[in-house]
């Protein structure tokens, strides 16, 4: 403990002096770039394999297996007949068309364009429906946790990440199966002499799997622009400013100089402090325009079309807001802070909240609470968790190890610097004010209906799983199935996201965690105690669940799921004006895709908490993680439509039951 304290003190003093020293060396690589990889960032991109299209027969088999736990015997037989008709009829025609289309577009994957279109065409509001939340662990040193200091360091680290990415100096994204053997200098030397056309396959020999990085360039300078019927993504990668929001007021702040270099820490700190001072002299925004980004997309599209009919507004919106590299939302004391004993009020606020100090259309928004709690709320259409989590982890690591400013760091004054700190004074008429008021009321109605529950379960953690040779993810997913079954006496459509980024332009695939194996275990353990199988038999059933879960995960990650394949076939029918095949209208397909249990694992040492909204009105949105000290879950639901509190209580009971089986089985062996 003494060594740790000494190390922290030494670190703190060193960094405090560094903050002033860097002002004269800000054009050096050490400041301008987060990384200086020996392998260029996109080194493996050319040689990534293409996402395979599964065999139609296999997709039909997998669909039938996934839906079986949800159906009666009669329903299953009917579904089997419909599926067979599809496989031998229109399905073959659609599959052939998909194969031809894929062969004509070898630069991408068969799912990439349809998936973008699916996101951009959905008219649902972004908060709760799409934009997720990742909350960062705090910096335990008060001088770096202070709001403006933390915001400054997060901005600088974000820019260092962005500059590294643009200069191809960011380490390529590689999943290392055996990091001690492959995440090494020797591996990188071997890779550097491998021909680019075969580099990915050379990496496989080290059990290191390069991942697609095509989404990374949309992390910054990207905005989703609302349109009637479908939105579009616009990107301004050469921007030199960020958008800063405070109490609904909006500011553009330059962070890069005319040559594209990151301004010195004292300059960025000074400009943020100037914004805080400016804002203290103003009222909170009477018409907080950001609320419109929380509206239903067609509503926002119509409001925006009217708003930009004013030339001043159009210029400010397009050049300062849409084109900003990212958004920084500095929340006020009234918005609260993180309370470990009761974190849900702040998480609720950060996930959706009042929307008065947000611009949900930006690819990335950094949210900084008054107490320095930092979070990322991101627009989802442009990319998936792999890119965002990499950015999130690098950000946390860099600000923890190499913060450039503290609460006491002197700053370069930006008072009166209207060129680099620009107040965005929009011209708001009565029609826009009414649109904001209506959007605020509708968002408040939806957000107020959101219930959020949290569980931290100490008996189940990484150590427990390792000790008992358990797959952490499969055990938690089994717990969700047991919790729902014992609380609501049924099995429902369940969704676990799995990345397919091992392939060029891969997105995600669905892993269906409700299986015959999980159903058999749940039924067995819920019998009266005198009718239950032995602990060893139940443990064998847990292992069977884990085996099935592992196989399904492997299939999904290797592009051998069925959800995206069936989705793409349906889109072919729709785009070519063909009748929708009957299998898509059958009860089994609808039941499986009504994802009442929607889950996402949030595995990161940088993560304090993560959350997202339910994907259906009567569903549960479950963000979960298993850490060194506990297994945790944050469950969202809509009041009077799903019972989140009942589920979370049942989940604790499910954990108890499964842990008891594991312990009893271990004792008897």
This prediction has a pTM of 0.93
CA within 13 Å, CB half, 90: 17
Q: How far is CA 456 from CA 606, 630, 634, in A?
A: 17, 6, 9
pLDDT at position 553 over 70? yes
- Show the domains of the chain with their CATH numbers: 2-31+131-170+216-448 (3.30.559.70), 56-108+452-668 (3.30.559.10)
What span, in angstroms and rounded, lies between the C-alpha atoms of 77 and 92?
21
Q: What is the mean pLDDT of residues 76-100?
A: 97
pLDDT at position 9 over 70? no
pLDDT at position 349 over 50? yes
Tens digits of residue pLDDT in 301-326: 999 999 999 999 999 999 999 999 99
pLDDT at 511: 96
pLDDT at 644: 96
β-bridge pairing 421-423 and 249-254: antiparallel
CA within 13 Å, CB half, 479: 32
Contacts of 323 (CB under 8 A, 6+ apart): 221, 223, 236, 239, 241
Q: Is 425 helix (H, G, I), strand (E, B) or coil?
A: coil
Give the model's confidence band at 3: pLDDT under 50 very low, under 70 low, under 90 confident, else very high: very low
Contacts of 521 (CB under 8 A, 6+ apart): 478, 482, 538, 541, 542, 544, 545
Tens digits of residue pLDDT in 37-55: 999 999 999 999 999 999 9
pLDDT at position 231 over 70? yes
pLDDT at position 6 over 70? no
Structure tokens at 258: 């005319």
| DSSP assigned state of 261 | P
What span, in angstroms and rounded, lies between the C-alpha atoms of 544 and 488?
24
Q: Is 500 helix (H, G, I), strand (E, B) or coil?
A: coil
Sign of the torsion formed by the C-alpha atoms of 417, 419, 425 and 427: positive
* Active-site position among 107, 349, 380, 594: 380
Q: Is 496 helix (H, G, I), strand (E, B) or coil?
A: strand
Residue 75: closest CA among 555, 589, 506: 589
Q: What is the mean pLDDT of residues 87-106?
A: 97
What span, in angstroms and rounded, lies between the C-alpha atoms of 46 and 324?
30
pLDDT at position 567 over 60? yes
pLDDT at 436: 98
CB 209 within 8 Å of CB 502: yes
The yes-or-no answer on residue 380 being catalytic is: yes
Q: What is the mean pLDDT of residues 639-661?
A: 97
Q: Which residues pair with 364 in a beta bridge?
A: 378
Structure tokens at 366: 């950094």
Tens digits of residue pLDDT in 519-551: 999 999 999 999 999 999 999 999 999 999 999
Give the model's confidence band at 668: pLDDT under 50 very low, under 70 low, under 90 confident, else very high: confident
What span, in angstroms and rounded, lies between the C-alpha atoms of 436 and 444?
12
pLDDT at 21: 40
Helices (H), 297-416: 297-307, 311-316, 344-351, 385-401
What span, in angstroms and rounded, lies between the C-alpha atoms of 190 and 197?
14
């Amino acid at each position: 403990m003494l060594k740790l304290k000494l190390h922290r003190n030494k670190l703190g003093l060193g960094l405090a002096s560094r903050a002033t020293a860097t002002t004269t060396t800000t054009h050096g690589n050490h400041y301008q770039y987060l990384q200086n990889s020996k392998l260029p960032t996109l080194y493996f991109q050319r040689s990534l394999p293409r996402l395979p299209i599964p065999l139609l027969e296999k997709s039909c088999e997998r669909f039938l297996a996934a839906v079986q736990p949800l159906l009666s015997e009669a329903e299953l037989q009917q579904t089997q007949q419909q599926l067979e008709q599809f496989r031998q009829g229109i399905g073959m025609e659609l599959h052939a068309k998909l194969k031809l289309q894929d062969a004509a577009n070898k630069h991408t994957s068969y799912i990439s364009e349809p998936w973008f279109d699916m996101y951009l065409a959905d008219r649902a509001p972004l908060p709760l429906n799409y934009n997720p939340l990742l909350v960062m662990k705090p910096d335990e040193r008060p001088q770096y946790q202070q709001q403006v200091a933390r915001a400054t360091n997060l901005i600088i680290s974000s820019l260092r990440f962005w500059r590294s990415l643009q200069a191809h100096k960011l380490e390529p994204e590689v999943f290392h199966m055996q990091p001690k053997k492959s995440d090494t200098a020797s591996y990188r030397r071997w890779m550097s002499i491998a021909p680019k056309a075969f580099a990915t396959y050379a990496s496989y020999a080290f059990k290191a799997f390069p991942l697609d990085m095509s989404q990374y360039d949309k992390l910054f300078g990207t905005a989703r622009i609302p349109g009637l019927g479908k939105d579009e993504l616009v990107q301004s990668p050469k921007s030199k400013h960020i958008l800063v929001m405070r109490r609904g007021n909006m500011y553009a702040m330059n962070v890069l100089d005319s040559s594209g270099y990151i301004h010195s820490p004292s300059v960025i700190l000074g400009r943020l402090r100037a914004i805080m001072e400016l804002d203290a002299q103003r009222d909170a925004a009477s018409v907080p325009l950001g609320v419109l980004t929380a509206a239903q997309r067609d509503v926002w599209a119509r409001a925006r079309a009217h708003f930009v009919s004013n030339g001043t507004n159009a210029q400010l919106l397009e050049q300062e807001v849409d084109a900003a590299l990212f958004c920084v939302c500095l929340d006020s004391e009234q918005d609260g802070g993180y309370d470990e004993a009761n974190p849900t009020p702040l998480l609720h606020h950060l996930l959706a909240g009042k929307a008065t100090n947000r611009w949900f259309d930006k690819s990335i928004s950094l949210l900084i609470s008054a107490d320095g709690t930092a979070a990322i709320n991101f627009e989802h259409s442009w990319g998936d968790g792999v890119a965002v989590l990499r950015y999130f982890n690098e950000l946390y690591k860099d600000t923890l190890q190499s913060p450039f400013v503290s609460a006491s760091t002197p700053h370069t004054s930006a008072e009166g610097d209207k060129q680099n700190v620009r107040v965005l004074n929009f011209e708001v008429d009565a029609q826009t004010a009414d649109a904001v008021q209506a959007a605020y009321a509708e968002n408040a109605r939806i957000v107020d209906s959101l219930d959020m529950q949290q569980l931290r379960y100490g008996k189940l953690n990484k150590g427990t799983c390792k000790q008992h040779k358990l797959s952490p993810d499969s055990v938690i997913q089994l717990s969700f199935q047991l919790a729902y079954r014992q609380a609501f006496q049924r099995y429902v459509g369940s969704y676990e996201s799995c990345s397919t980024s091992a392939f060029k332009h891969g997105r995600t695939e669905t892993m269906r965690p409700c299986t015959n194996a999980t159903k058999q275990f749940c039924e067995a353990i819920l019998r009266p105690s005198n009718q239950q199988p032995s602990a060893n038999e139940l443990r064998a059933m847990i292992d069977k669940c884990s085996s099935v879960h592992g196989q399904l995960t492997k299939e999904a990650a290797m592009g051998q799921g069925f959800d995206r394949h069936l989705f793409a076939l349906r889109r072919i029918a729709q785009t070519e004006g063909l009748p929708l095949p009957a299998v898509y209208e059958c009860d089994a397909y609808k039941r499986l895709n009504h994802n009442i249990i929607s889950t996402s694992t949030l595995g990161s040492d940088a993560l304090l908490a993560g959350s997202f909204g339910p994907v259906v009105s009567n569903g549960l949105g479950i963000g979960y993680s298993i850490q060194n000290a506990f297994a945790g879950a944050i469950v969202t639901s809509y009041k009077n439509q799903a019972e989140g509190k009942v589920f979370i209580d049942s989940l604790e009971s499910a954990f108890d039951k499964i842990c008891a089986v594991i312990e009893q089985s271990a004792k008897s062996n």
